[in-house]
C-alpha cells in the first residue's frame, strides 16, 4: 500500500458521514471504502487484497474515530 493511497484512505474516513461508517457491517464497510477510494487507475487483485486487509485491520480504529466525532 503506497503512502498516497494510505493518505487517501484516511482522508476518506475523515470526510465520510459518521452514520455510513457506523451502520455498515465489517465486510460492507471494507467494500464501500474500497469503491470510494480515489485512485488514478484500477487496483489490481493483489493491491485490492492488500488494501482490504489493511482496512480490516483498522476497522475498530475507523469506528472509534467515527464515534468520537
Give the residue-averaged pLDDT of 38-57.
88
Q: Which three cell numbers stand for residue 61?
A: 480504529
- If phi > 0 it is left, if psi is from -120 to 50 it is alpha, else beta; for residue 8 that is alpha
What pLDDT was estimated at residue 39? 72
Would you state the torsion angle of the CA atoms of residues 62, 54, 52, 46, taken in this order, to the nearest 10 degrees? Answer: 160
What percent of the chain has pLDDT above 70?
Answer: 99
Question: What's this model's pTM, rounded to 2 decimal places?
Answer: 0.87
Give the residue-averaged pLDDT of 20-49.
90
Amino acid at each position: 500500500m503506497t503512502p498516497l493511497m494510505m493518505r487517501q484512505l484516511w482522508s476518506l474516513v475523515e470526510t465520510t458521514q459518521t452514520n455510513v461508517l457506523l451502520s455498515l457491517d465489517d465486510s460492507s464497510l471494507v467494500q464501500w471504502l474500497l469503491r470510494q477510494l480515489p485512485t488514478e487507475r484500477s487496483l489490481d487483485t493483489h493491491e485490492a487484497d492488500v488494501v482490504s486487509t489493511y482496512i480490516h485491520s483498522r476497522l475498530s480504529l475507523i469506528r472509534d474515530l467515527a464515534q468520537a466525532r
